[in-house]
Amino acid sequence: MSHRTWIELDTNAVKANVATLKSLLQPETRFCAVVKANAYGHGLLPMSELLRAEGVDAFAVDTIADALTLKDAFPTAFVLVLGYVMSEDLPNAIKADIHLTVADKSRIRELQSVASELDKQAFIHLKIETGTMRQGVDMVNLGDVLEEIKTSSNVVLSGLSTHYANLEDTSDAKFAGEQFERFSEAERMVLDAGFSPEFIHTACSAGIILYPALHGTMVRAGISMYGLWSDKDVEMAVLHHRIRCTLQPVLSFKTRVAQIKTARVGTPIGYGMTETMPRNGRIAVIPVGYFDGMDRRLSSRGEVLIKGHRCKVMGRICMNMMMVDVSNVPTLVPGDEVVILGRSGAHSITAYDIARTMGTIPYEFIACLNPLIPRVIKQTATEEENE
């Protein structure tokens, strides 16, 4: 089926990234794929299906809705909810054996009550606040929380976790080291209290790649699994320390030319007439706008690729359309492919390029791609197949 606008997922890139990241782990360390935010814009189910094909059987999401979707698709998979779950959703989570992140005594009491009524166990991962000031149990309250778990016979402490605030800053790892020390202290308290959680996890992408000491018994693979570096400093550190880690972007974002117009020099383009045609040439109307994820910060600044040529975005990006200068593209007809993110000929536009133009990070651009856009699985030829 052809699409007007679509997102391609490269099967071989998924395979290569998972293999690369797993090669950095000890065999007994569990690999958990973070597929929150619609799998970082890649599509929850399409991406998770590709990961399952590579042997991934553990997933982390933000919402209970996503967790239940994955459990329906993969009943035997381990699924952890990292984010907030409303009280009315707890019964469904417990029935489906979904693991929940917990950070306070009141939630433990609530889980005990619901699990007891269902005659089930509630599996929890206690998150420790070590310095990010997000969700987590403060160290001063940890003893009381552990006592609450002890008295909750239907609540199972399955995991212990934290999240680092500045792990990507390879020039100064002091604060990350302090966070790890606080977490290690919390882990000792948990063990001394008689618990033995199966899943000890603090490592995100940067932790997986740069800091083996943080791996614990499970790692949470996020942005790196999609073929993107969490920070340029991480990529530079990999090169400097000669770490065997090469990432391949999984996602390409494409659409088509809708209309081609002749425009004389000085012709105003788009809403507000914020830009005028710098020469006699042609404008192509592209059926993608900020609703689709083409952020308005790319107005008059972004680029797309058409037939191997870079084409500048002209004027303001609209809700469902934008205009680009195609004066340098020799032959063009409606329906021709437009690459918003990806490669065309000798040129490429990366998530870093787009994020730099927007003044943000790659995470934001890819996570905000409209989930209604079709995700298409693309099987690219391997080197062996090309020979």
The pLDDT tens digits for 63-73 are 999 999 999 99
% of the chain surpassing 90 pLDDT: 96
Q: With a cut of 70, which residues of the chain have pLDDT below it?
A: 1, 380-387
Q: What is the pLDDT of residue 381?
A: 56
Which residues are CB-contacts of 285 (< 8 A; sequence separation ≥ 6)?
Answer: 257, 258, 259, 260, 261, 321, 322, 323
The residue from 15, 36, 95, 352 that is catalytic is 36
Q: List C-alpha distances in Å: 275 to 278, 305, 311, 324, 325.
A: 9, 20, 15, 11, 12
Catalytic residue among 15, 105, 271, 307: 271
Contact (Cβ atoms closer than 8 angstroms) between residue 305 and residue 338: yes
Q: Which of 29, 68, 34 is nearest to 48 (CA)?
A: 34
Q: What is the pLDDT of residue 75?
A: 97
The residues spanned by each domain of the chain are 11-240, 251-379
pTM: 0.94
The two domains 11-240 and 251-379 share their CATH topology (first three levels equal): no
End-to-end CA, the chain: 29
CATH fold group of domain 251-379:
Lyase, Ornithine Decarboxylase; Chain A, domain 1 (2.40.37)
- Contacts of residue 100, defined as CB under 8 A and 6 or more positions apart, other chains included, come to 80, 81, 85, 90, 93, 111, 122, 123, 124, 125
Contacts of 10 (CB under 8 A, 6+ apart): 248, 249, 250, 251, 252, 378, 380
Active site residue 174: no
**Does residue 290 carry a catalytic annotation?**
no
Q: Based on the number of CB atoms within 10 Å of its own CB, is 282 exposed (0-12), middle (13-18) or buried (19 or more)? A: middle
Q: Which two tokens stand for residue 275?
A: 């830009």
Q: How far is CA 14 from the centre of its chain?
A: 13
How many beta carbons lie within 10 A of that of residue 49, not counting itself? 15
Instruction: Determine the pLDDT at residue 171.
Output: 86
E strand or H helix at 178:
helix 174-192
385: its two tokens:
């197949």
CATH code reported for the domain at 11-240: 3.20.20.10
